[in-house]
Structures are given as C-alpha cells and as structure tokens.
Amino acid sequence: MKRILSMLLVIILITAGAAFAEPRNMVIGTTVTDNISEYGEVDRFLLDLTGDTALDITFEFDVDSRYIVTLNAIANDGSFEKIFTQQFLFNGEALYDTVVREMATLRYRAGRYCLEVKNPEFHFSEKPYYITVTGAAVVPGAMEIECNDRPKDASEANMGVQVVGSLQAYEDVDYYCFYMPADGTLTIETGAAYDNELTYSLYEVVNGNELSRVDVWYLDYKDQGLGDMIYKTADGIHLAAGTYYLKVECQDFGDFTYDDYCFRLICVA
Ligand SMILES: [Ca+2]
Ligand SMILES: [Ca+2]
C-alpha cells in the first residue's frame, strides 16, 4: 500500500511538473520539441532578440491535435503583453501523420519574448510538436517593425524603397511614417498575395501632434496574378512637403492572409 501511495505521489509530481514547467530557452536557427500531454498544460519558450529581427516560425504538429500558439513581449517588470496568436488545426486528408504550417513573418524590435503553446480544448495528444525559428536582421525603412499598431510606434518608410510587412492577425494594424521631400503627387504602388482585401489610409499631421485623414484606398487583390504577388496602384494624390503617416490594415469583414504585403511610395514633384 505504501509503495502504491508513493508511486501515486511520484505520478502527481510528474504531471504537476509538466503543467507548470519552467520556460525553456529557444535559440534562433534551432528546433524545439515538446508535447501537451494533459489538459491545461502550457509550454513556454523564451526568445531573446538582440536586434530588430524578422522571425520565421514553422510549427509542425500531429494531424489529430490542435494548438494555440501565442507570442508575448516581456516587459521590464516581467509582465507579458500578448502580441500575436495563431490557432493550428488540420481538417483535411493527410499524407503524413504530421503537418507543417508557417506563421506570418514577424518583424519585431529587439527584446525578450515568450512563445506559449497550449491546447484549445481536449484535442491534445501526447505526440510531439516541433517549432523551428529562423531570423534575419530587419532592414530599417524597408520593413515594418512591430509593434507598430499606434502612430507613435510607426515603422519608418523611405520614399522610393519597397517596404514589406505582414498582417499577423485580422486585427493587426501597421502604421508607417514617411517624409514627402517636396510638394508633388504621391503614388503608392502596393502588392499583396491573392485574396487579400487591404485598406490604406493616409494621414497628415495637424496642430502639431494630431493626425487627420487625407485619403483612403480600399484595395482588393482578388485578380489572378502571374507571380506570388498581385499589384495595385493607389490613385495619386497631391501633397505638400512634410511628414505623413500611412496605415495598412485588413478591410472591415475583408479577407487577409498571413503572407507579406508590400508598398512603394513614389513622389513626383
Ligand atoms: Ca504587421
Ligand atoms: Ca502592427
């Protein structure tokens, strides 16, 4: 009896340890593997970005399992700020036992992050999942840097340079700040993957620090294109020299994909 009790205690300690496991470190360029073996279990992986980084994350999981993957920024006081969540499930006919999904490319500021993996319901299996993270330096002025959801955190866009970003969630909003070097006509060449419906809003700065919307373009990318990107050009608009903000987001009730979008600002004096 004593032996059974002590075995029971060991089992309880092991399962409790699994549910509240210490976060593990995740290194760019490597793969981590773990599993969700019980209801309520959350796996945490810490990621240190020493510079602004474009992260590509692939998630390989068992076709019968479901997962919710969340990326949190860790503040100086240790608190978590959720910046991204994606659900992974597979509903099709599978050739293999596992399926590989790529998340949106996440371009983030240097800092500490925590990737959390959990199960949304009772669809867990003890089979392993694999997360692979690769990273490259963000090119300022040519890529978005999250979190750019507010004008004060806007990413920089340079005239004539193609800027690449992505909507990592339906609610994602990306602000860019740019400078119009002279009075002239601004044209915005845009590109996105098939099926996206994006809104581009242009703001000028008034009264020193308020934004006032100057124009808005509703662009859909439902035409079949030749390559991966479908290109649309927003109608030109005459602007005075100065600082402007551009907001990119999904249209209300519109479609979006996790693929990159891009745009290029062209000023003709
Ligand atoms: Ca974004
Ligand atoms: Ca954003």
52 and 127 fall within a common domain: yes
Other CB atoms within 10 Å distance of the CB of residue 3? 7
| Ligand 2 centre distance from Cα of residue 124 (Å) | 31
| Ligand 2 centre distance from Cα of residue 24 (Å) | 27
Q: What's the confidence (pLDDT) of residue 168? A: 84
39 and 108 fall within a common domain: yes
| Ligand 1 centre distance from Cα of residue 243 (Å) | 21
Residue 257: both structure tokens together: 């994909």
Q: Is 162 helix (H, G, I), strand (E, B) or coil?
A: coil
| Ligand 1 centre distance from Cα of residue 94 (Å) | 31
Q: What is the DSSP string of 28-97?
A: TTEEEEE---STT-EEEEEEEESS-EEEEEEEEEETT--EEEEEEEEPTTS-EEEEEEEEE---S--SSS
Tell me the residue type at 264.
R
For residue 256, which ligand has an atom nearest its CA?
Answer: 1
Span 126-179, pLDDT tens digits: 889 999 999 999 988 899 998 899 999 999 999 999 999 999 888 999 999 999
48 and 106 fall within a common domain: yes
Question: Which H or E run contains 10?
Answer: helix 2-19
Span 221-249, pLDDT tens digits: 987 766 788 999 998 999 999 999 999 99
Residue 192: both structure tokens together: 């996105």
CA distance linking residue 148 with residue 247, whole number of Å? 10
For residue 165, which ligand has an atom nearest its CA?
Answer: 1
Other CB atoms within 10 Å distance of the CB of residue 257? 16
58 and 159 fall within a common domain: no
49 and 105 fall within a common domain: yes
In a domain, 10, yes or no: no
Choose among 216, 213, 205, 198: nearest CA to 179.
205
Choose among 67, 77, 6, 57: nearest CA to 36.
67
| Ligand 2 centre distance from Cα of residue 18 (Å) | 34
Number of H helices, E strands in the chain: 1, 19
In a domain, 75, yes or no: yes
Q: Is 226 helix (H, G, I), strand (E, B) or coil?
A: coil
Q: What's the confidence (pLDDT) of residue 9? A: 46
In a domain, 9, yes or no: no
Q: What's the confidence (pLDDT) of residue 13? A: 44
Span 96-127, pLDDT tens digits: 889 999 888 889 999 999 999 998 876 667 88
| Ligand 2 centre distance from Cα of residue 35 (Å) | 30
Structural domain count, the chain? 2
Choose among 167, 182, 187, 186: nearest CA to 258.
167
| Ligand 2 centre distance from Cα of residue 113 (Å) | 16
Q: 2: pLDDT confidence band, cut at 50, 70 and 90?
A: low
For residue 259, which ligand has an atom nearest its CA?
Answer: 1
For residue 147, which ligand has an atom nearest its CA?
Answer: 2
| Ligand 2 centre distance from Cα of residue 9 (Å) | 47
Choosing from 137, 162, 196, the residue where a domain stops is 137
| Ligand 1 centre distance from Cα of residue 156 (Å) | 13
Residue 58's CATH number:
2.60.120.380
Give the residue numbers spanning the domain of 107: 23-137
